[in-house]
Amino acid sequence: MSEYKDFSICKDTQLTLKKAHEDGVETVWDRFKKQKPRCKYCKAGVSCQICVMGPCRIDPSGKSKSKLYGVCGANADIIVARNLARMIAAGAASHSDHGRDLIEILYKIGKGMAPGYAIKDTVKLKRIAKEYDIDTKNIGNEEIAIRLSKAMMKDFSMEKGRLTFIDRAPKQRLELWEKLDVIPRGIDRETSETMHRTHMGVDNNHMSILLHAVRNSLADGYGGSMISTELSDIIFGTPKPGFSEVNLGVLKEDHVNILVHGHNPAVSEMIGQAVEDKKMIQLAKAKGARGVNLAGLCCTGNEILMRKKIPLAGNHLMTELSMVTGVVESIIVDYQCIMPSLGQVAQCYHTRLYSTSNKAKFPFIEHVEFTPENAKEQAFKIVKESIENYTRRNKDRIFIPASPVKNMTGFSVEAILEILGGSLNPLIDAIKAGKIKGVVGVVGCNNPKIKQDYGHVELIKRLIANDILVLTTGCANVAAGKAGLQMPEAKELAGPGLKEVCGLLNIPPSLHVGSCVDNSRIIVIACALANAIGVDIDKLPIAGAAPEWYSEKALTIAFYVMASGIYTVLGVMPPIGGSKKVTELATSGLKDIFGACLAVEPDPIKAAKLITAHIVEKRKGLGLSV
């Protein structure tokens, strides 16, 4: 067992990974090992495949005089900046395409073409419509939905020339962005321009490539991601606090277990409706099960956990392991972070896998396409087949490794405001009084380069002990939840000031604020705090951290958070080390431009020290006690 402790701090992961090996199943950790040693050129970001005169490689040490330029003459700075910009564009495209799919659903709800979907938060629909200058008087919700979706479509194009939500930023930040010419003009436009600029022979100045990459990231943070969050709330309901459970122990031996995985709640919403249907429950009973148990993985899991308190079975590195329990009848995936290995693992068990998006198909996974028009029908088909699959379970292979851990979730911006009595003032007062020293977003993925969940949990524990309130999104939530940090009782691990505030409000010191697109909620809070205090965001005692990030989306998030003025510590080095200029810019030079930069620190204990020192510096800047 001891060897499994090297992979994860979580008992359920360690035990299930051991069983996976006994069952002969290869996992992400095994493939990670086989990939060693890593290519030093790719690691440093100095390999280029942008055109077929290459591929080219630059010596990252700079010692080999014959390897200073690619065939076209691009040097390490150009190649690293181009590769980095393309990663950021891919992240922005992913979140934004997710947002676009939600706009389509909202439009079709308005048109009566999306059976099963509805507008759950009409108050928010009207509030967001107002932000888009839509006169909501004397028109019905369906017409508002149509007008709002059409207005949001314009954010994607070049029709407006400026994103609507960008004006949520404080005026000082907007003036800075205007001066730097990084205000996003259209979501798709910025991603498309990144691809153009980084084509051979277009932008060959690392600084201007990076500044555009920042604009592209802002198009995600204040565009694609923010639209995704707001529309998910409108269509599926704005999250409210409540309790649920987390880890592989949420799977039930005597139930049909169905997992939903990916990012977009559009599919899981319909699956959620189908599993509650009386006929489906009767069918499950007829097959010998006590009922149907729905649970989530990764960010689709976060979406349904936030809104419906449906339990969360695991994060990124546990998606393969969920099947090793032998009790999962089906996994239904939408898109992003779905390992192509899942179909292979399913061959060893009875689990049926379904892909649902026409843009995300996988080997050995059955494709059942969901559209706004047919989603309800398809959800019932899949749930019925999953229930029928219960009888194929091999009872001798069942292994549920742990009991579930209780967690608290649902901290949308609206919920936080309600807890605080309608405004951020109590939070500001607590920060001013030094009861809460600062606020830090701990976000992002798992990555086999870091012991699973160690980066998240160790960092969060040290921050809360220093009276720093933590907001978590994405896979960091599962780590925090499993460690018990998302329960009000975790206040006992907090410093005296934070403990007092959490006790008064009956909240945990580490708040679950959503999925990865919901980092936009953290941005909304940062903007509102800055506006309320009357300073720019970079003056606030706040920071961000992505201790175990792996995804291009996480890098995009890091960039829009940094460009918003928030110091951000990454636990894994991005592939930029081959350019001294780009590395220095990212880790220090950007501070002179945006008032914030990135840092890279894999050790969460050292990362906590960096962040705490940053919070102290910002408090001093505001004349607050430290």
3-state helix, strand, coil in the chain (%, to 5): 55, 10, 35
Rounded Cα distance, 427 and 269, in Å? 33
Interface positions, 201-240, toward ligand SF4 (CB under 6 A): none
Rounded Cα distance, 450 and 571, in Å? 8
**Distance in Å, CB of 514 to ligand SF4, minimum:** 10
**Distance in Å, CB of 49 to ligand SF4, minimum:** 6
State the pairing for strand pair 256-262/542-546. Answer: unpaired
Closer Cβ to ligand SF4, 121 or 453, answer by number: 453
DSSP string computed for 1-69: -GGGGGTBS-HHHHHHHHHHHHTT---HHHHHHHTPSPPHHHHHT-EE-SSTT--EE--TTS--GGGSS
Stretch that binds ligand SF4, among 120-128, 160-168, 342-350, 546-554 (CB under 6 A): 546-554
Rounded Cα distance, 541 and 449, in Å? 30
- Asked if residue 20 binds ligand SF4 (CB under 6 A), the reply is no
**Distance in Å, CB of 570 to ligand SF4, minimum:** 13
**Distance in Å, CB of 524 to ligand SF4, minimum:** 19
Which of 5, 30, 31, 53 binds ligand SF4 (CB under 6 A)? It is 53
How many residues at the interface with ligand SF4, by CB under 6 A? 27
Task: For residue 194, give the H/E element and its range.
Answer: helix 187-197
Q: Are 581 and 539 in contact (CB under 8 A)?
A: no
Q: Are 219 and 559 in contact (CB under 8 A)?
A: no
Closer Cβ to ligand SF4, 51 or 610, answer by number: 51
Which of 84, 93, 214, 299 binds ligand SF4 (CB under 6 A)? It is 299
- Asked if residue 298 binds ligand SF4 (CB under 6 A), the reply is yes
Which of 10, 15, 50, 213 binds ligand SF4 (CB under 6 A)? It is 50
Closer Cβ to ligand SF4, 55 or 421, answer by number: 55
Q: Are 443 and 551 in contact (CB under 8 A)?
A: no
**Distance in Å, CB of 444 to ligand SF4, minimum:** 5
- Asked if residue 445 binds ligand SF4 (CB under 6 A), the reply is yes
Pick left, alpha or beta for residue 474 (phi over 0 → left; psi -120 to 50 → alpha; otherwise beta): left
The residues, ordered by sequence, that sit 6+ positions from 392 with a Cβ below 8 Å of its Cβ are: 350
**Distance in Å, CB of 574 to ligand SF4, minimum:** 14
Closer Cβ to ligand SF4, 316 or 435, answer by number: 316
**Distance in Å, CB of 55 to ligand SF4, minimum:** 5
Which of 3, 5, 55, 364 binds ligand SF4 (CB under 6 A)? It is 55
H runs (alpha helix) in 333-450: 342-346, 375-389, 413-419, 425-432
Which of 10, 20, 44, 74 binds ligand SF4 (CB under 6 A)? It is 74
- Asked if residue 164 binds ligand SF4 (CB under 6 A), the reply is no
Closer Cβ to ligand SF4, 56 or 494, answer by number: 56
Which of 11, 32, 51, 195 binds ligand SF4 (CB under 6 A)? It is 51
For 159, 282, 380, 453, 561, the CA distances from 292, given in Å and listed in that order, are 47, 10, 13, 29, 40
Peptide bond into 37 cis (omega under 30): yes
**Distance in Å, CB of 474 to ligand SF4, minimum:** 3
**Distance in Å, CB of 313 to ligand SF4, minimum:** 13
Closer Cβ to ligand SF4, 346 or 554, answer by number: 554
The tokens for 243 are 């309790």
Residues 143-152: contacts with CB within 8 Å, 24+ apart?
143/110, 144/110, 145/106, 145/107, 145/109, 145/110, 145/119, 146/107, 146/110, 146/111, 148/106, 149/103, 149/104, 149/106, 149/107, 149/110, 150/107, 152/99, 152/103, 152/106, 152/227, 152/231
Interface positions, 553-582, toward ligand SF4 (CB under 6 A): 553-554
The residues, ordered by sequence, that sit 6+ positions from 267 with a Cβ below 8 Å of its Cβ are: 260, 300, 332, 334, 356, 357, 370, 375, 379
Closer Cβ to ligand SF4, 79 or 183, answer by number: 79
Closer Cβ to ligand SF4, 79 or 464, answer by number: 79
**Distance in Å, CB of 143 to ligand SF4, minimum:** 35
**Distance in Å, CB of 315 to ligand SF4, minimum:** 6
For 9, 317, 361, 517, the CA distances from 452, given in Å and listed in that order, are 6, 7, 27, 22
- Asked if residue 444 binds ligand SF4 (CB under 6 A), the reply is yes
- x-or-dash pattern for ligand SF4, window 309-328, by CB under 6 A? ------xx------------
Q: What is the CA radius of gyration of the chain?
A: 24
DSSP string computed for 518-537: THHHHHHHHHHHHHHHTS-G
- Asked if residue 340 binds ligand SF4 (CB under 6 A), the reply is no
**Distance in Å, CB of 218 to ligand SF4, minimum:** 19
Q: Are 320 and 20 in contact (CB under 8 A)?
A: yes
Task: For 221-321, list the strands marked E by DSSP.
Answer: 242-246, 256-262, 292-297, 312-314
Closer Cβ to ligand SF4, 70 or 110, answer by number: 70
- Asked if residue 57 binds ligand SF4 (CB under 6 A), the reply is no
Interface positions, 79-118, toward ligand SF4 (CB under 6 A): 79
- Asked if residue 420 binds ligand SF4 (CB under 6 A), the reply is no
> 3-class SS at 169?
coil
Interface positions, 181-200, toward ligand SF4 (CB under 6 A): 200
Which of 146, 516, 558, 607 binds ligand SF4 (CB under 6 A)? It is 516
**Distance in Å, CB of 199 to ligand SF4, minimum:** 8
Closer Cβ to ligand SF4, 109 or 516, answer by number: 516
Binding site for ligand SF4 (CB under 6 A): 48-51, 53-56, 70-72, 74, 79, 200, 298-299, 315-316, 337, 444-445, 474-475, 516, 551, 553-554
